[in-house]
Chain A
Amino acid sequence: MAAEISVSVQVQGFDPGAEYTGLRSGNTADGATAMFVGNVRDFSPAAAGQHKEVGVLELEHYPGMAESALTQIAERAAARWPLGRIRIIHRYGRLAAGDEIVFVGTTSAHRQASLDACSFIMDFLKSRAPFWKRELDSDGGSGDWVEARSSDEDALKKW
C-alpha cells in the first residue's frame, strides 16, 4: 500500500510530540517510528576557526517549489522503502537559537526502513529543497547568507 505523505511549509512552530501522535494515531500496522528534528544552533563556524554567535536566523524559501520538492523527496523515499506514513515540516521566516526548523517522521513495519528513509529524506532536503538561511547580526543588521557545504552534496552519494 502506498505511504501516506503529509508535507507542510510554514512560519509557525510545531510540536514534535503532537507530530509523533499524528504518525501513530490509528497506525497499528507499523512497529517502527523514526523522527528527526533540526534546531537552530547558537553559533556558526566562521573563518579561521572562530565561532560567531548567531542570535536570529532568517529562512527564505521558494513558495510552491518548496512544497513540491519536499513531496517529491517523500515520494522517492516511499518508492524505495516500505513506509506507512511520512511527515515533513519545514519552517521559514525568523527563527531564534533553539527553535525547531525541520521535522521528518517516518513509520514502517520494521525499524530499518523508517530509519533509512528518515536519513535519506534529510540528506535530499538539505541539497534539493529550495530554502536559504541567513544569520542576522545581533545588532539587527541583515547579516550573511549561509554558504552551502560540499559535505551536504557528498551525503547524497551514499544513497
Chain B
Amino acid sequence: MIKVLFFAGLRERLACDSLELAGEGVETLDGVRHKLGQQSAEWAAALADERLQMALNQELACADAAVKDGDEVAFFPPVTGG
C-alpha cells in the first residue's frame, strides 16, 4: 500500500487527511494523483490544480518521481510558512 497525506486547503477540500492506496498500476506521483482523481469529479478537480506541490517520503518531488509499495506520498498547496 501507498500512504497518501493531504494538507491545508487541499485536506479541507477533500475532507480527508490521509488514506491508503493500493499500489497496483501506480508507477509515479502523477499516477497516484490520477488514481485518486478517479474517486469523484470533486477529487479530480481538486487534484488537477497545477500549483499543488508533492512530496515523496517527506521530500519535495516532481510528478514523474517513481513510487513503490510502502512509500509515503503527500499533496499540498504551495507552502506559506515563515
Residues of chain A whose beta carbon lies under 8 Å from any beta carbon of chain B: 38, 59-62, 64-65, 68-69, 90, 101-102, 122, 125-134, 145-148
Q: A62-B7, A101-B82, A126-B82 are in contact. Are A148 and B59 (CB under 8 A)?
A: no
- A14 and B59 CA atoms in complex are apart in Å by 27
Taking A132-B7, A145-B8 as contacts, is the C-beta distance between A64 and B58 under 8 angstroms? yes
> With A60-B8, A145-B9 in contact, do A130 and B78 touch (Cβ < 8 Å)?
no
Given known pairs A62-B55, A65-B55, the reply for A132 and B76 (CB within 8 Å) is yes
Contact present for B81 and A62 (CB under 8 Å): no
Residue of B nearest to A131 (CB): B81
Number of A-B contacts (CB under 8 A): 73
* Residue on A nearest B51 in the bound complex, by CB: A148
Chain A residues in 8 Å Cβ range of B77: 132, 145, 148
CB contact under 8 A between A62 and B74, given known A130-B55, A145-B8: yes
